[in-house]
Amino acid sequence: MSLAASVLVLLLACLYAADARSGGAPAAACGTLMPDLPGHTANGQTDPVPYEIDLTVFDEDENGTLQYTPGGVYTLTFRRMGDVTFRGFLVRARLAADNSFLTNAPFAMIASQTNTRISSCEPANSGITHSNGQSPRVELTEVRFQWTAPPADTGPIFFGFAVVRTQQVYWAAQMSAMLKEGPPAPPATPAAASGLAASVLCLLLSLVPLLQL
Ligand SMILES: *[C@@H]1O[C@H](CO)[C@@H](O)[C@H](O)[C@H]1NC(C)=O
């Protein structure tokens, strides 16, 4: 999908999600269908988005470039940067090379975060959205969720998101900073294994005096 098409899809998605539907962003927010847009005339905000995905959980390489560990599991926070709450959001991970949505880097709900849920995207865990079914709508300040980085050889990625402040105030097709693919997680090292063995041995030896009593 071209960048323009991607942006259009997200924009349409956001128009559909603009009232921060209580059940989360609808499937139309994720796909390539061109839905009708009855009654929606507002354009998304063009001023800098006052919300962010906190990327400080990611390591930096020696040059300060953010990187993810392939297959690494992260707890991410989507939050306000100032004092303005939000009612709806949709976060998905995208491949930097072509803006396609990653389907092998699943999001998961954290049980305590009852204002979130897995998206209506395909596959469902390729996005995470709000689930604030109460009325009046919940005014959110931050939400947390789990994300598993894609496998090795995926390359650079970023997070795309849409966020709804009110029915007429929303930001479409936002982008986080880029994350490059970092080195794989080190395998469980023999050192760690021998450390465990040493601990067990130490524990057993510490029992010897007791056994002699
Ligand atoms: C950091 O920057 C230097 C100089 O540009 C480059 O040679 C090196 O490969 C970079 N390191 C990484 C991990 O990209």
Q: Which whole-number Å values give the CA distances from 33 to 13, 27, 37, 179, in the listed order? A: 10, 10, 12, 29
- pLDDT for residue 4 is more than 90: no
Residue 123, both tokens: 């596959």
pLDDT of residue 14: 39
Ligand 1 centroid to residue 68 C-alpha, Å: 17
Nearest residue to 179 (alpha-carbon basis) of 101, 90, 66: 66
- pLDDT for residue 32 is more than 80: no
pLDDT of residue 74: 98
Q: Which of 19-28, 132-141, 149-158, 162-171 has the lowest mean pLDDT?
A: 19-28
Ligand 1 centroid to residue 35 C-alpha, Å: 45
Check residues 152 and 88 and name the one with the higher pLDDT.
Answer: 152
Residue 208, both tokens: 């010897």
- In testing the pocket of ligand 1, which one of 59, 62, 181 has its CB within 8 Å of the most ligand atoms? 62
- In testing the pocket of ligand 1, which one of 63, 66, 67, 180 has its CB within 8 Å of the most ligand atoms? 63
Confidence class for position 12, pLDDT limits 50, 70, 90: very low
Contact at 8 Å (CB) between 20 and 88? yes
Confidence class for position 135, pLDDT limits 50, 70, 90: low
Ligand 1 centroid to residue 164 C-alpha, Å: 39
Ligand 1 centroid to residue 103 C-alpha, Å: 30
Q: Which of 1-5, 111-115, 193-197 has the lowest mean pLDDT?
A: 1-5
Check residues 130 and 14 and name the one with the higher pLDDT.
Answer: 130
Ligand 1 centroid to residue 16 C-alpha, Å: 43
Q: State phi, psi for 89 to the nearest 5 degrees.
A: -160, 160
- pLDDT for residue 18 is more than 60: no
Return the CATH superfamily for domain 20-182.
Reeler domain (2.60.40.4060)
Express each pLDDT in 34-49 by its tens digit: 222 333 345 678 889 9
H or E stretch including 26? none
Check residues 143 and 10 and name the one with the higher pLDDT.
Answer: 143
Q: Is 101 exposed, middle or buried (0-12, 13-18, 19+ CB in 10 A)?
A: buried
Average pLDDT of span 146-175: 91
**Strand 169-175 and strand 59-60: pairing?**
unpaired
Nearest CA to ligand 1 atom 5: 63
- The ranges assigned to domains in the chain are 20-182
Contact at 8 Å (CB) between 182 and 61? yes
Nearest CA to ligand 1 atom 4: 63
Q: Output DSSP code: residue 193.
A: H
pLDDT of residue 166: 83
Point out the ligand 1 atom lying closest to the alpha carbon of residue 63. 1
Ligand 1 centroid to residue 62 C-alpha, Å: 7
Contact at 8 Å (CB) between 87 and 24? no
